[in-house]
C-alpha cells in the first residue's frame, strides 16, 4: 500500500492506496468518500503544483491519473445545481422530497401506474444486479451479466483495447469476472449493445443522465433506466401498483413517446384486445396475464 496525503474540507489526513492495476480510480474515490463524506459524483480532485484538476474515469486503474506514493490530493465538492421547481400540476420526480407511503418501495405515480425504485444489494455487484433485474427479471442472474461483459470485451478487441480499458483486456476480463469488482460506463455500454437496448443512467445527486446506445441499426427502440447515486446503481420499473409482484413490472420502455392512455393493446397470452394502460392493468389484475403487445 502507498500513503497519499489528502486535503479535504474537514482537514488533512493520510489515506492508503494500492498502485497495483486492480486498484481503480473508483476505489480511490471510495477512500476519499469515507474520509470527507463527499460523494464520488461530486468530487473534484487536484494534485501537483500549481494544482491541476484530474480527469476521473472511475473504472480505470489509479495509475491512469498518475498518482504516486507520497503525492498530495486536494478534494473539493462540486456545487449542486438547484433544479427548477416543477409545475404544481406535475407529478414529483425520483430523487425529490415527494410524500412517501408508510410501506413499500420509493415510487412516483405516473397516470394510473407507478415508477418504482428497485433497490438492489450494496455488495459491489449492484450494476450487474440492476442489469439482471432489468434484462433477465432476476437479481440472481448478476453473474451472467458479468459473463456478458467479459464476452463483449473478448469478441471486440478492436474496440476494447488496453488504452480504453486501462489494462490488458485479458486482465480486465479476469478482474470484472470477480464478484467484488465494480462496474461502470464500459460495462453499461457492453450491456446496451448485447441487449440492443439504450441504457439511461440517472445520477440522482446531480440530475445528469448518461445514455449508452446499443449502436446504429442495432436498437430495438427500447430503453432501460438505471438509478445512480454516485456510489451505487439501482433499477427503475413501471408497475400497476406499488406492491405488484415482480412479474408485473415493466423494465423496458419505448424510446419514442406513446400516449399510454389511448393506445391499442392485445394480450399476448389470451389474445384479448385492450385499450390503453388502464385496460392492460385491469386485465392483469383479473387474469394474471402480464405480456401485452401494441397493435
Active site residues: 123, 126, 232, 289
Contacts of 52 (CB under 8 A, 6+ apart): 46
Question: Distance between CA atoms of 198 and 106, rounded to whole angstroms?
Answer: 24
CA–CA separation, 258 and 260 (whole Å)? 6
Distance CA 283, CA 145 (A): 33
Q: Which residues contact 4 (CB under 8 A, 6 or more apart)?
A: 14, 15, 16, 17, 67, 69, 70, 71, 72, 73
* Tally of CB atoms within 10 A around 90: 8
Pick the closest to residue 194 from 139, 147, 158, 254 (CA basis): 147
Residue 270 to residue 288: CA distance in whole angstroms: 11
Give the N- to C-terminal CA distance of the chain in Å, as an integer: 61
∠ at Cα 245 (278, 96), nearest 5°?
75
Place of cell 386485465: 283
Amino acid at each position: 500500500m502507498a500513503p497519499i496525503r489528502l486535503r479535504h474540507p474537514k482537514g488533512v489526513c493520510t489515506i492508503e492506496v494500492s498502485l497495483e492495476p486492480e486498484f481503480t480510480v473508483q476505489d480511490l474515490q471510495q477512500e476519499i468518500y469515507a474520509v470527507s463524506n463527499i460523494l464520488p459524483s461530486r468530487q473534484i480532485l487536484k494534485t501537483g503544483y500549481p494544482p491541476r484538476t484530474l480527469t476521473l474515469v472511475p473504472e480505470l486503474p489509479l495509475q491512469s491519473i498518475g498518482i504516486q506514493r507520497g503525492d498530495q490530493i486536494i478534494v473539493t465538492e462540486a456545487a449542486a445545481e438547484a433544479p427548477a421547481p416543477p409545475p404544481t400540476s406535475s407529478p414529483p420526480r425520483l430523487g425529490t422530497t415527494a410524500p412517501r407511503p408508510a410501506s413499500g418501495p420509493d415510487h412516483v405515480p405516473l397516470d394510473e401506474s407507478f415508477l418504482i425504485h428497485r433497490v438492489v444489494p450494496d455488495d459491489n455487484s449492484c450494476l450487474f444486479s440492476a442489469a439482471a433485474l432489468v434484462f433477465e427479471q432476476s437479481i440472481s442472474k448478476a453473474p451472467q451479466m458479468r459473463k456478458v461483459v467479459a464476452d463483449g470485451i473478448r469478441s471486440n478487441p478492436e474496440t476494447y483495447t488496453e488504452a480504453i480499458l486501462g489494462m490488458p483486456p485479458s486482465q480486465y476480463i479476469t478482474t470484472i469476472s470477480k464478484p467484488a469488482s465494480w462496474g461502470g460506463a464500459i460495462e453499461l455500454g457492453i450491456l446496451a449493445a448485447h441487449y440492443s437496448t439504450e441504457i439511461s443512467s440517472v445520477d440522482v445527486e446531480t440530475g445528469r443522465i448518461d445514455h449508452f446506445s446499443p449502436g446504429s441499426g442495432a436498437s430495438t427502440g427500447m430503453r432501460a433506466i438505471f438509478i445512480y447515486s454516485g456510489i451505487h446503481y439501482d433499477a427503475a420499473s413501471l408497475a400497476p401498483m406499488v406492491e405488484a409482484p415482480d412479474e408485473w413490472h415493466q423494465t423496458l420502455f419505448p424510446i419514442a413517446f406513446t400516449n399510454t392512455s389511448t393506445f391499442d393493446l392485445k394480450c399476448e397470452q389470451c389474445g384479448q384486445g385492450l385499450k390503453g394502460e388502464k385496460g392492460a392493468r385491469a386485465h392483469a389484475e383479473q387474469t394474471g396475464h402480464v405480456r401485452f403487445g401494441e397493435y
